[in-house]
Every structure is written in structure tokens, then in C-alpha cells.
Amino acid sequence: MLLKIPGVLNAEQLRMVRARLLAADAPWVDGRVTAGYQGAPVKRNQQIDENSRTALELGDLILGALERNPLFISAALPNRVYPPMFNRYEGGMHFGNHVDGAVRLIPGSGIKLRTDISATLFLEPPENYDGGELLVEDTYGEHVLKLCAGDLAVYPATSRHRVTPVTRGARLACFFWVQSLVRDDSQRRLLLDLDQAVQKLGATGADAQALLQLTGSYHNLLRMWSET
């Protein structure tokens, strides 16, 4: 499931995040420090040191925004979220075709996270840079994503994807992974469709008993498919 979630961050939050990332003392490092054997040869970008105060504080802000976003919760059904990381592409930097690693160790915790969902939160307005498109492949072809600042793209971590070279300006983004309560992508898609239908019917004053039955079906499917 490839989904755009608009407005995860508001204008004030975006200004604050970009100011921290563009500060003279921002702790940028080579992005290959967190790349695996597959990604390292094709990864050319910079990242904020994931153990730095900047990464931890901005990551908490992102996590708070995600917790308050009903579409993200409904679509991802998060069990665990990897601490958000931040990257920058400029001067021809890019990330070639790759598939995200299946399991990641959450730093300093000893906890392993299965990467069911990959997520990219765009932080820079698209008119401020050329290139830097996120290209995600699925059975229907290649999808080109260059979203507005504050918008989030979520897609299966099994997808092959890449970031095209940035030829003007700088692309700033946040990225992370989600271990979902529901491992299977097609099941998450069905649950999202059902949840959205329930919400729309509830808002239109649909028959109460039919709505209760449909809501029960949603929760019974979630109960059947969820892993905790």
C-alpha cells in the first residue's frame, strides 16, 4: 500500500525542524554510517547523527505528531516505530535502487523491529530543489513522489525504491520504519478501507445497527490478524 498522508507537521513545526537541521552546529554525518551491505554502495547523502540531541528531540516531535494523526494510525496500525532519522541530499547526492533491511535494532534498547512499512516525511518545499524524487516500485509500475513539506509517504518496506540526484538546492526529509500490528500489506489495506468506510457512514447518520455490525467486523478482523 502506497499512501500519502498530508499535513503531518504544521507550518510552525516545519520552521522549527528546518531551523534545527540547518543550524551551523547541526551534527551531519555521512549517511552510509547506517547503511547495510546492500545500501552502502548506492547511498550518497548526509544524515543527522542518530544519537545526537538534535535527532532525539526532533524525533520525539515527529512521533508526537504521528500519534495525533488518525490516518497514519489507521493505515500503519503501528506496534513499534523506529526512532525517526533525518537526511539531506544536495550537490548531486542520491540513493540508488535498494530494498530496506527486514530487521533493525533500535539503538540503545536491544529491541529488534521488523520493518513492515517504510516512511518518508518531506521537510523542504518541492520548489526549493530540483531532483530528489522518491521513486517506489510495485506491481503497478514506478511511482514518483515529491510531496509538499509536512506530508508523509508510507509504502511497503518490501518495495524497491530510490531517491534521484538533487541538482539544485537541498532536499531535507525525515525517514523511519514501522512494525505494524498487522504484518501483511494486503490485510492492512483492507482494514484501512473498512475503517474509513465506518467513519464516513458514522458521519452521515447511517443505520446504527448496521454500523455496529460493520465496526464489529473491523475489530474482529484486526483481532484475527494482529500480532503483539
User: Which residues are registered as beta bridge partners of 113?
Assistant: 104
Tell me how far apart the alpha carbons of residues 87 and 93 are, in angstroms, rounded to a whole number: 11
For the stretch 132-183, pLDDT in tens is 999 999 888 999 999 999 999 999 999 999 999 999 999 999 999 999 999 9
Q: Which distant-in-sequence residues (6+ apart) come within 8 Å of 35 by Cβ? A: 43
Judge if 176 and 199 occupy the same domain.
Answer: no
Q: Are residues 199 and 148 in the same domain?
A: no
CA pair distance 172, 16, nearest whole angstrom: 13
What CATH number did the domain enclosing 205 receive?
A: 4.10.860.20
What is the average pLDDT score of the chain?
A: 95
Q: What is the mean pLDDT of residues 97-116?
A: 94
User: Domain range for residue 193?
Assistant: 185-225
Count of structural domains, the chain: 2
CATH of residue 165's domain is: 2.60.120.620
